Amino acid sequence: MKREKVFEAQNVEIKFNLRGKTLTAVRGASIDLYQGETLAIVGESGCGKSVFAKSFLGVLDKNGWVSGGHMLLDGVDIAQYKTEKEWLKIRGKKIAMVFQDPMTSLNPVKTIGEQIREVIAWHFGTDKEASKQQAIELLYQVGIDNAEARYKQYPHEFSGGMRQRVVIATAIACRPKILICDEPTTALDVTVQAQILQLIKKLQQDLNMSVIYITHDLGVVASVADRVAVMYAGQIVEYGLVNEIFKDARHPYTEALLLSLPQLAVKGSDLQSIKGSPPNLYKEIKGDAFAPRNPDAMKIDYEIEPPFFKVTDTHYAKTWLLHEQARGYVKELSKKQEERVKATPEVDSGSSEKGVLVSLRNVTVDFKLGRKKFSAVKDVTFDIYRGETFSLVGESGSGKTTIGKAIMKICHTSGGDIFYKGKNINKKLSGAELTRFRRQVQMIFQDPMASLNERAKVDYIISEGLYNFRLFTDEQERKRKVAEAMRSVGLSNEHATRFPHEFSGGQRQRIGIARSVVVEPEFIIADEPVSALDVSIRAQVINLLNQLKKDKGLTYLFIAHDLSVVRFISDRIAVMYKGRIVELAGSEELFAHPLHPYTIALLQAAPIPDPDIEREKRVIAYDPSVHDYVTDKPFWAEVAPGHFVWANSHEMAMYEERLAKLK
């Protein structure tokens, strides 16, 4: 199936001026785009993928410019465009773009209708009434009901997913040939993400568009892409059909990236992680940019930049491993890899029944918003056992963080009991009791940047808990403890005298973890600890958390929305929906036999980095109205040993039946 080429970028080089220094963000990247296809450009943050895509529209930040290469659209080299007038013929009309965050992509003080209408009016000179009609049609097209009324509404009256639909409607308003989606679903919940991806797919077919996805999420890539281009340090290092990339990756970076995914890892073992961090783009890069992070790099990788080698007609990779002289070495490597997989230890399943550490009984948290009351957490009951990793998953706003805060005693509760080591802590504690409790229970936050004091040195940040709880007798002991904590999270001693801003995101999260473990807690609440991190860094931190758990006998309450991570790290998982736990089971049990329709929808929606599975997948939207709870009241019950679900008696019978059938 050979389709028409609609766009071609050749050897594009993009530079930025930053505080007097020149940074080369894109170093000769090339892509082709064919009619009606979906191309995904994958890479970690800072690899230049967004900048690369923005240059197709001439919307680089003011300090950046295209310093080389060609971009051919309809036979015209748009890389040569200088004036705004020239670009205005392209933007919106031929190439459109959708940004990551729908919450900020729309002007908050204009109606959404107006924001769509103005594009139509601007590009086609359509009169007001006609362009309004078209805008309303577009809204219907992106799945917004009652579009006439919603036309007049403002962005804040829409949910995140709905806003992204509006943004997409705006982008396709002029029937562009190419739609660039820059992380279009990263800011959305999984279930919403699936819907948006589906919408884009549908629109692509309807309008016969070519779509470029810019993303770091390999799950999304597997689900949507026809072809994939992997980007690293400003270069495309490998490209090919989606199956070729996922099943037969040739570039060591692509391989490492795939291996670091928790979905592909074996539970209980370490995730494959990529050491180090991406290269400094201010400096000239010699040889293969990935070589310094590649433990199996060859000598030539450090010296000469590899060319693209052909794997198949559609699959190319920029690595010396494909050179004929490297064939022997490649064989050696694959043998090594097989051994590595074999050497994986057995799953450690001995964590069950070690006694209850934390126990919640009918905990409810109500908030007041003006005169309205709403329950962030409704009647939640569960136990966390000593030494296990217990995860709470759910959409944003489902109440999972609130539960964490309630256990930390930094959020009031409206009812219920929370027991820690058998003692009810959901009441006023004495000063000494509270201090002891605070030391034993620590928290790790999502945003490592925001949770560290920017003005304090790492030494002080880590020591803070020691000072608070007076956990040392002399300066020497404090220093020893800090050094010990830093070593345990993989930071070296010399880091102690630096400030947080000198560290990368992953290192900052290590500091955050060191700060928690230094006071020797028993229980750690980790609130989305890896959500802000890149794939390769994420793997490092997940490994670290698992290592610490093993070494120090910690218990985790892990709060996350990323099901792949949760599955990998958790012993048991509770699924939350609108303040209520709808299902709770052992990790494998839950993934194997989800019962509650919401759980099923959630698991279905989560993209899996396997194009074969993704292509077959049907997205099921959860509709709470399937439950008939008017006469038959729901309750919390154990449907199988260790497997709880929120259901009424009728549903319960159904679930039991289904379980029996499956097993």
Partner 1 sequence: MRRYYLSKLGQALVTIALVVLVVFTLLRFMPTTGYFTKEEFREMDDVAKNAYLRSIGVLDPTLVQLKNFLVKLSHGDLGRSMTLYPKSQIKDILSDKIKYSVMFNAFSWIVSAFIGMPLGIAMAKNKGGPIDSAGTAYVVAVRSIPSIIIHFFVQVYVSRLFNLPMLFYIDNPRSWILPTISLSLGSIAGYAIWLRRYIVDEENKDYIKFARVKGLSQNYIMVRHVFRNAIVPIAINFPSDFLLLISGSLIIEGLYSIPGMGGLLIKSIQALDNNLVQILVLMFSTLSVFGVFLGDIFVSFVDPRIKLTDSPE
d(CA 178, CA 212): 7
Residue showing tokens 């450690």 = 348
Shortest distance in whole angstroms from residue 565 CB to partner 1: 27
* Percent helix, percent strand, percent coil in the chain, to nearest 5: 40, 25, 35
181 binds partner 1 (CB under 8 A): no
Tokens representing residue 149 in the block: 């009324």
d(CA 512, CA 490): 12
84 binds partner 1 (CB under 8 A): yes
d(CA 194, CA 181): 14
371 binds partner 1 (CB under 8 A): yes
Task: For partner 1, give the closer residue by CB, 369 or 432.
Answer: 369
d(CA 274, CA 294): 8
Residues in the chain: 663
Of the candidate spans 164-172, 193-201, 393-401, 502-510, the one that interacts with partner 1 by CB under 8 A turns out to be 164-172
256 binds partner 1 (CB under 8 A): no
Is residue 518 within 8 Å of residue 441, measured between CB atoms? no
Q: Which residues pair with 575 in a beta bridge?
A: 393, 583
Shortest distance in whole angstroms from residue 310 CB to partner 1: 34
174 binds partner 1 (CB under 8 A): yes
d(CA 295, CA 331): 16
Is residue 134 helix, strand or coil?
A: helix
Shortest distance in whole angstroms from residue 89 CB to partner 1: 8
Q: Is 373 left (phi over 0), alpha (psi -120 to 50) or beta?
A: beta
User: Buried b / exposed e across 278-287, counting CB within 10 Å, b at 16+?
Assistant: bbebeeebeb
Shortest distance in whole angstroms from residue 85 CB to partner 1: 8
Shortest distance in whole angstroms from residue 200 CB to partner 1: 16
Angle at 282 between CA 278 and CA 285, to 5 degrees: 65
Task: For partner 1, give the closer residue by CB, 178 or 595.
Answer: 178
Residue showing tokens 């040739």 = 250
188 binds partner 1 (CB under 8 A): no
106 binds partner 1 (CB under 8 A): yes
Of the candidate spans 89-97, 224-232, 339-347, 426-434, the one that interacts with partner 1 by CB under 8 A turns out to be 89-97
Shortest distance in whole angstroms from residue 392 CB to partner 1: 27
For 594, 634, 640, the CA distances from 659, given in Å and listed in that order, are 9, 19, 8
Shortest distance in whole angstroms from residue 154 CB to partner 1: 4
200 binds partner 1 (CB under 8 A): no
88 binds partner 1 (CB under 8 A): yes
One residue of 92, 113, 279, 594 binding partner 1 per CB under 8 A: 92
Shortest distance in whole angstroms from residue 91 CB to partner 1: 4
Find the binding residues for partner 1 in span 582-611 (CB under 8 A). none
Task: For partner 1, give the closer residue by CB, 90 or 220.
Answer: 90
Tokens representing residue 336 in the block: 């090594």
Shortest distance in whole angstroms from residue 99 CB to partner 1: 6
Of the candidate spans 34-42, 116-124, 139-147, 517-525, the one that interacts with partner 1 by CB under 8 A turns out to be 116-124
73 binds partner 1 (CB under 8 A): no
Shortest distance in whole angstroms from residue 576 CB to partner 1: 23
Of the candidate spans 74-82, 163-171, 524-532, 604-612, the one that interacts with partner 1 by CB under 8 A turns out to be 163-171
20 binds partner 1 (CB under 8 A): no
d(CA 8, CA 5): 7
Of the candidate spans 110-118, 324-332, 477-485, 629-637, the one that interacts with partner 1 by CB under 8 A turns out to be 110-118
Is residue 519 within 8 Å of residue 545, measured between CB atoms? no
Shortest distance in whole angstroms from residue 588 CB to partner 1: 40
For 114, 461, 511, the CA distances from 498, given in Å and listed in that order, are 50, 11, 11
90 binds partner 1 (CB under 8 A): yes
One residue of 170, 442, 540, 587 binding partner 1 per CB under 8 A: 170
User: Which backbone phi and psi does 204 adopt, to 5 degrees?
Assistant: -60, -40
Find the binding residues for partner 1 in span 288-327 (CB under 8 A). none
Pairing of strands 356-369, 441-444: unpaired
Of the candidate spans 353-361, 368-376, 396-404, 439-447, the one that interacts with partner 1 by CB under 8 A turns out to be 368-376
Residue showing tokens 């459109």 = 96
Give the number of residues in contact with partner 1, rule: CB under 8 A: 36
Of the candidate spans 83-91, 387-395, 583-591, 611-619, the one that interacts with partner 1 by CB under 8 A turns out to be 83-91
372 binds partner 1 (CB under 8 A): yes
Read off the DSSP letter of residue 334. H
E strands, 439-521, are 441-444
330 binds partner 1 (CB under 8 A): no
One residue of 1, 19, 82, 108 binding partner 1 per CB under 8 A: 108
For 136, 144, 249, 258, the CA distances from 139, given in Å and listed in that order, are 5, 5, 40, 37
One residue of 11, 22, 80, 107 binding partner 1 per CB under 8 A: 107
Find the binding residues for partner 1 in span 135-154 (CB under 8 A). 154
d(CA 495, CA 508): 11
Task: For partner 1, give the closer residue by CB, 154 or 591.
Answer: 154
636 binds partner 1 (CB under 8 A): no
104 binds partner 1 (CB under 8 A): yes
Of the candidate spans 111-119, 222-230, 393-401, 516-524, the one that interacts with partner 1 by CB under 8 A turns out to be 111-119
Task: For partner 1, give the closer residue by CB, 111 or 359.
Answer: 111
One residue of 57, 142, 514, 542 binding partner 1 per CB under 8 A: 57
Shortest distance in whole angstroms from residue 174 CB to partner 1: 7
Taking alpha carbons only, the member of 487, 488, 514 closest to residue 500 is 514
Pairing of strands 441-444, 523-527: parallel
DSSP 576-636: EETTEEEEEEEHHHHHHS--SHHHHHHHHHS--S-HHHHHH-------GGG--TTTS--EE
109 binds partner 1 (CB under 8 A): yes
Of the candidate spans 302-310, 364-372, 560-568, 615-623, the one that interacts with partner 1 by CB under 8 A turns out to be 364-372
456 binds partner 1 (CB under 8 A): no
Please report the sign of the dihedral spanned by the C-alpha atoms of residue 353, residue 357, residue 361, residue 363: negative
Taking alpha carbons only, the member of 246, 213, 224 closest to residue 33 is 213
Half-sphere exposure for 608 (CA within 13 Å, toward CB): 19
Q: Which residues bind partner 1 (CB under 8 A)?
A: 57, 59, 62, 84, 88, 90-93, 96-97, 99, 101, 104-111, 118-119, 122-123, 154, 156, 167, 170-171, 173-174, 369-372
